Amino acid sequence: MTTDVQAKTKVAVIGSGNIGTDLMIKVIRLSRTLEMAAMVGIDPDSDGLARARRMGVTTTSDGVRGLLALDVADEIGVVFDATSARAHVANAAALAATGARLIDLTPAAIGPYVVPVVNLDAHLDARNLNMVTCGGQATIPVVAAAARIAPVRYAEIVASISSRSAGPGTRANIDEFTETTSRAIERVGGADRGKAIIVLNPADPPMIMRDTVFCLLDDCDTDAVAASVAAMVAEVAEYVPGYRLKQRVQFRRIGRDDAENSLIPDAPPGDRWMMTVFLEVAGAAHYLPEYAGNLDIMTSAALRVGERVAAHAGTAVAR
């Protein structure tokens, strides 16, 4: 009698900082279809590389060049990049000749924007997939949920995170964060116009991630919109358990002459609704503290994308 054992896809994580290390631990602890093959960094003394070695993962501190020199390099089907927008451009070029699929956790946006519950199915064949930003992963599902019920003329999101959870990479990419998130609100969320704001909160003890979503909607059934948002939040919570609504979805009637309509001068005139949604994202504390929900939602979403991409591509290699 033979037993079918599901093969796992070997993956590498580039970036041995907080995000990369948390993602590595999620792959090892949570994934039934992905297997850590290599942890890549540039600082030989980083905690991420040290932890990877203790967990039996092959490591290199020579960056992507070191990754390509590893014996296991040809077996890797998926590479997660948790470095920076600028570094990802160079990393993507260096990995272009390989057969690996790239999942980009930086705001570089070389490939299409992907939010798992919104548009992953449309991009399963893409070579390079961009995970937008933490604010985008948290708020774009809400914009998309509203857009499937009524036209979203304008959407604005405010992502508030603890300053302690904003490492050097996050701080170096603030401009890219706002630009990338704003574009993704339109391209993925479906809003006519999008705007993103990030707030680094120095509160002590640290606050967990909180997000506010404002959407200006054409006249519609607000109960249907609220139900759509609640259903979408439940879908995200399947892979980000700490993701939740802080309170019921709120609506305020906007007359055609009210100031809010000046946000969309090219839209047809009419009465509208202003929808406000308050979200909270607590981290799973696999490696990062609970308040770092902004980082946890990125690694959780990336893990979901990696598993789906690997399954679709059929890149699994038998152990």
Q: Which domains does the chain have, with CATH numbers?
A: 9-131+297-313 (3.40.50.720), 134-290 (3.30.360.10)
Tokens of 193: 């116009």
3-state secondary structure of 312: helix
| Residue 134 annotated as catalytic | yes
Q: What is the pLDDT of residue 316?
A: 39
Chain centre distance of CA 219: 31
CB 164 within 8 A of CB 205: no
Q: What is the pLDDT of residue 126?
A: 96
Q: Tell me, what amino acid is at 242? A: G
Q: What is the pLDDT of residue 261?
A: 76
Catalytic one of 27, 82, 134, 144: 134
Integer CA distances (angstroms), 213 to 100, 111, 163, in order: 35, 25, 20
**Helix (H), strand (E) at residue 137:** helix 134-147
- In sequence order, the β-bridge partners of residue 275 are 215, 251
Q: Is beta strand 101-104 parallel, antiparallel or unpaired with respect to 128-130?
A: parallel
Residue ranges of the annotated binding site for NAD(+) are 16-19, 165-173, 294
Blockwise average pLDDT, block size 10, the chain, 319 residues: 65 96 98 98 97 98 98 97 94 95 94 98 97 96 98 97 86 85 97 96 96 96 98 98 98 85 75 96 95 97 98 59
Contacts 24+ apart (CB under 8 A), 288-292: 288/18, 288/22, 288/165, 289/164, 289/165, 289/206, 290/208, 290/242, 291/162, 291/164, 291/165, 291/205, 291/206, 291/207, 291/208, 291/209, 292/18, 292/162, 292/164, 292/165, 292/209
Q: What is the pLDDT of residue 239?
A: 98
